[in-house]
Amino acid sequence: MAKALGESAVQAVSQWKFTAGQKGGQSVGTHIQLPIVYTLNSDGPAKPKATTP
């Protein structure tokens, strides 16, 4: 089960687009943590969704 959840999370995150943070027109280092919430149901595999802070 844990492997399937991890694979679902990787698949979901792989679809995200990344844009580097900028300050004054220059790229800067940034860090973000985004929880991934799962809903388990009997209709099929777990489907992760990201929540926004």
Instruction: Going residue by residue through the chain, which has 53 residues, state the pLDDT in tens, using 9 for 90 and above.
Output: 677 778 878 888 888 888 888 999 999 988 888 887 777 766 666 566 666 55
Per the domain annotation, does 24 fall within a domain? Answer: no
Per the domain annotation, does 48 fall within a domain? Answer: yes
Per the domain annotation, does 3 fall within a domain? Answer: yes
Per the domain annotation, does 22 fall within a domain? Answer: no
Adjacent-strand bridge partners of 22: 27
Per the domain annotation, does 8 fall within a domain? Answer: yes
Number of structural domains in the chain? 1
Exposed (0-12), middle (13-18) or buried (19+): which is 33, by Cβ within 10 Å? exposed
Per the domain annotation, does 43 fall within a domain? Answer: yes
The range of the structural domain enclosing residue 49 comes to 1-16+29-53
Per the domain annotation, does 23 fall within a domain? Answer: no
- The pLDDT, as a whole number, for residue 25 is 92
- The pLDDT, as a whole number, for residue 35 is 83
The structure's pTM equals 0.42
Per the domain annotation, does 5 fall within a domain? Answer: yes
